[in-house]
Structure 1
Amino acid sequence: MRGLYLITNDDDFLLLLQKLEVALATKKVAILQYRRKKVIRVEQVFEVEKIKQLCEKYQTPFVINDDISLAAQFGLGVHLGQSDGDIQTALACLPEGMVIGRTCLNSLDLARQAIHDGATYVAFGAAYATSSKPEAGRLDFVTLQQAHQEFNLPICVIGGLSVENAKVVIEQGADLCAVISDILALNVQDIPKRIAAWDALF
């Protein structure tokens, strides 16, 4: 896995779906994560089903944020924060070979544990200040360099990333750059050009 890691926002779902269709149609989104904090569970099930169909259409890997049971319901991968369940549980509940990501903050030790437990990729951040997770600590780029040297699985970086500031993050060892607003805050017609700019960075 290498490239743009797109995370959903809390926009109106029909607008979000329209933007996702345009984004995934570029075939330049490496992975999509479902993260809808303001949506009740019944609606989440409906939304995941719709987005899964899109991901299958465009052959984009799809993971669920934080929720192992929702991921298991649809046979999808999962991204787990430090307080959202453990990797062993995910491995036991999900189909074999599913993507399992782990938030590792700014800690090589957390990343080592995640890899030992069976994570598919590890995520560090926040690279820069971000409105979606204002409580997140800042990433030390020395940690990113060390992770790139030590680990042989994809390294994801998240937090305030944009086309304009991500080049240094990629140069320091990020395989995946996770973004929300840098893509989904745009008008639908502007998304393909922005994704092409991301693709050029990688």
Structure 2
Amino acid sequence: MTQPLIPRLYLLTNDDAFELLYAKLDIALATGAIALLQVRRKKLLAEPQGQAKLYDEAVQIVALAKKYQVKVVINDDIELATKLGVGVHLGQGDGDISAAKKILAPNQIIGRTCHGDANLVKQAKDDGANYAAMGAVFASNTKPNAATITRQQLIDGCQQDIDICIIGGLTAGNVTNLAGLPLIYIAVVGDIMDLPVDKIAARCQQWQQALQSWHTPA
């Protein structure tokens, strides 16, 4: 009998200064707990020369991820993803999946934000995305005003025959409330990246433990 898949951890960058961010990423990726990394640096992009700064940072982050054999997606920027040879995550108003598929290689992941709407999940699948992101599951510091979604909305999304990623306020403690759902990615920002450097590895291990028991009956 085939063992059911357990979700994989999907880490997003935060707005730390780059030197600190890099140190945290190095430790997190070294644990082997992270399957996918998203470069999302919105505050940096708002700075003068933000686009050029983001490119310089992303080059270093992609090289670090390659060292640990972790795949990377860039938030909302198909052109940058193309330059770096990595995937892209697109919000509902941030680019066309079919356009991205024409430019990116088949092994470059394309994700789409779908909130709590199973119809958007189905559309993402029909357009050729690799995964659909649903959330916010819980309120979060990153997006405190984001609307949260219900378990039934998640279940409906999981029935659309596309890999499902969940995001929003997820922690190594509360994620167990969702155990058993056929999720592929659990996206995390604050529960890992907002910790001090010396706490990162232990939190990644806590996540591994939480996900290892995903299909274990209570």
Q: TM-score range by the shorter chain?
A: over 0.9
1:24 aligns with 2:29: yes
Q: Give the structure 2 partner of residue 144 of structure 1.
A: 154
Q: Is the 8 Å Cα contact of residues 156 and 175 (structure 1) preserved in structure 2?
A: yes
Q: Greater Rg, structure 1 or structure 2?
A: 2
Which 5+ residue runs of structure 1 have no aligned equivalent?
none
1:111-154 Cα deviation digits (max 9, x unpaired): 00000000101110000112222342211110112222x23432
What TM-score do you get using the length of structure 1 for normalisation?
A: 0.95
Q: Give the structure 1 partner of residue 172 of structure 2.
A: 163
2:184 pairs, out of 165, 175, 179, with 175
Give the Cα–Cα distance (whole angstroms) in 2 for the partners of residues 154 and 193 of structure 1: 28
SS of the residue 2:42 aligns to: coil
What TM-score do you get using the length of structure 2 for normalisation?
A: 0.88
Change (3 A) 1:83 1:170: farther
In the comparison of the two structures, how many residue pairs are matched? 201
1:63 aligns with 2:73: yes
Give the Cα–Cα distance (whole angstroms) in 2 for the partners of residues 97 and 59 of structure 1: 14
Q: Which moved more, 1:57-66 or 1:137-146?
A: 137-146
Q: Give the structure 1 partner of residue 205 of structure 2.
A: 196
Q: Give the structure 1 partner of residue 91 of structure 2.
A: 81
SS of the residue 2:65 aligns to: helix
Aligned residues: CA RMSD: 1.3
Give the Cα–Cα distance (whole angstroms) in 2 for the partners of residues 118 and 16 of structure 1: 32
Give the Cα–Cα distance (whole angstroms) in 2 for the partners of residues 152 and 61 of structure 1: 22
SS of the residue 1:171 aligns to: coil
SS of the residue 1:138 aligns to: coil
| Deviation of the 1:97 alpha carbon | 2.3
Percent identical residues: 43
Give the Cα–Cα distance (whole angstroms) in 2 for the partners of residues 170 and 83 of structure 1: 31
Give the Cα–Cα distance (whole angstroms) in 1 for the partners of residues 145 and 103 of structure 2: 30
1:13 corresponds to which letter in structure 2? F
1:124 pairs, out of 124, 134, 156, with 134
1:77 corresponds to which letter in structure 2? G
